Each structure stands twice: as C-alpha cells, then as structure tokens.
Amino acid sequence: MTLYLIGIGLCDEKDISVKGLEIVKNARAVYVEQYTNVLQVGVDRLETLYGRKVEIAAREDIEKRGGEIIASARDTDVAILIVGDVFSATTHSDLYLRARQAGVAVHVVHNASVMTAIGATGLSLYKFGKTASVPFYSSEHPVDTPYTILSENLLLGMHTLMLLDLDPKTRRFMTISEAIVELRRMEERKENHIIRDNTLVVGCARLGCPDSRIAFGTLSEIEKIDFGKPPSCLIIPGQMHFMEEDVLRTFNREL
C-alpha cells in the first residue's frame, strides 16, 4: 500500500487537485499537517468537502510518530496533506526519505507553493537565490543566517525570499513589520550595512487567495503596512530587469 504526500495549495479546501481529492476519499487515514503553514479555513471545511475525517498532525506527531505513520502505510493507504506544496518544508523531505528507506511506496501529488506564487510580484523565479527563514527573536540564540543569505544573494544580483516564522498552535505568526525589525537587529551586529530605509522591498500576504496583497516600496514604507491575516513573506529584490520592475511598480499603488 502507499503513503501519499499531497499538497493542498495555498488558500482553502478547494485548492486540492482532483487527483489529490480522489486519493483522500479512498485512503484509510488522512492527516493534515498544521505547523509549517496555515490555510485560510479550518479543518472542518476540509472534512466537509472531502467527506472524510481529517486528523490534525502536529509537528511532534509527524516528527516523533512519523515512523508509526510510515509503518501503517505498509498495509493500507495513508494520506498526509501538506499546505502548499510537499517539499517546501524540510520536515516532509525527511518523511519522504524515511518512507523510501523503509521500503514503503510513496506517491507525491504536487500543488501550488509560496515558492512559485511569488511569481505574481513580477520577479523572475529564475533569479531567486537561496531562501531565508526569519525566526522569532531569541536573546539567547540570536540568528544571523537570513542576513548572511541576503548578503550572498545580493552579491550575485539575486532576489531573496524570506519566509517568516510561525507557530500555528499558539496562533503566533511573524508579520512583515516584525521581520523587518529582525533584519534591522541583525544589521546592527554587522560592520557592512546592506539594508537602508530606502532599500526597495516587496511584502506579500495570502498569495493564492482572493484577498492576497502585494506591496512594493522602501523598507520604511513597507514596515508601516498592516498586511492583515497570515501568512506573509518578504522579498528583497536583487538586480531587476526593467520588465520585473515595471510589474512591481504596479504594486506601488497599494501602499
């Protein structure tokens, strides 16, 4: 039997593919992971459309009980639903690897991801460098990795996507303003300064949803915007082709 890893897209219950839905309807057990991203609807809405009980799997369930879930897929079909696409969070690559190493059949059903939805900004996906994750501030463990990634990408003229920390269990989601505060904090610890108040950045919220929001402006302009409900991300463009900039400028009006 098979372990199905199914991307369910970025917004609501209707973003699952027809292929994904058919598998969900026939699987013995269906889990949805709720810790690497959030949908705009609750699990009840998934259950209504799918006509199935959907169990919420916390990080601990997937990371600790992952072995059990994989083992159960030996005798029966098990589906794990992932918000966005399957491999845009490291946990799911780990699950995939463990299942393959255990000799369990794994089938992946892809869907839209934040990693490609950012194309809506006009920035070319081909010109993005390494993605950075901005973690919640911790005075004990200050982190500079996002800043280092940004410096390296900028040197190569590449754009940088910054994913923002979240803890759906406690409903804590980093906002774009908070991420900019974190970047400024990292910058203070450095000798070379790469971000300024007038650095051009792009804020994106709820990409893939009807109420998605994209705003292009300077760091200090974007920092002041309330983008509303999560999830959101921040992009720092590198060298832009005039076409990329032309599309981005259409989002100026949203400031």
Binding footprint of ligand SAM on the chain (CB under 6 A): 10, 36-37, 82-85, 88-89, 113-114, 117, 163-164, 166, 204-208, 231-233
State in angstroms the smallest separation of the CB of 255 from ligand SAM.
18
Q: What b/e readout covers 50-62, taking b as 16+ CB neighbours within 10 angstroms?
A: bebebeebeeebb
Asked if 121 and 160 count as a contact pair (C-beta separation under 8 A), the reply is no
What is the closest distance, in whole angstroms, from the C-beta atom of residue 88 to ligand SAM in the complex?
Answer: 3
Helix (H) or strand (E) holding 5: strand 2-7
Residue nearer to ligand SAM on the CB measure, 21 or 234? 234
SS3 39: coil
Task: Using the minimum distance from each CB to ligand SAM, give the nearer residue, 50 or 227.
Answer: 227
The pair of three-digit structure tokens given for residue 245, joined into one six-digit string: 């900039």
Smaller CB distance to ligand SAM: residue 136 or 157?
Answer: 136
- How many Å separate Cα 182 from the centre of its chain? 18
Smallest gap from residue 161 Cβ to ligand SAM (A): 9
Q: Which is nearer to ligand SAM, 72 or 211 (CB)?
A: 211
User: What is the number of the residue whose Cβ is closest to ligand SAM?
Assistant: 84
DSSP annotation string for 135-177: PPP-SSS---HHHHHHHHHHHTT-BEEEEE-EEGGGTEE--HH
Min separation Cβ 184 and ligand SAM, Å: 18
- Measured from the CB of residue 236, what is the shortest distance to ligand SAM in angstroms? 14
Q: Which is nearer to ligand SAM, 163 or 219 (CB)?
A: 163
| Partner residues linked to 200 by β-bridges | 218
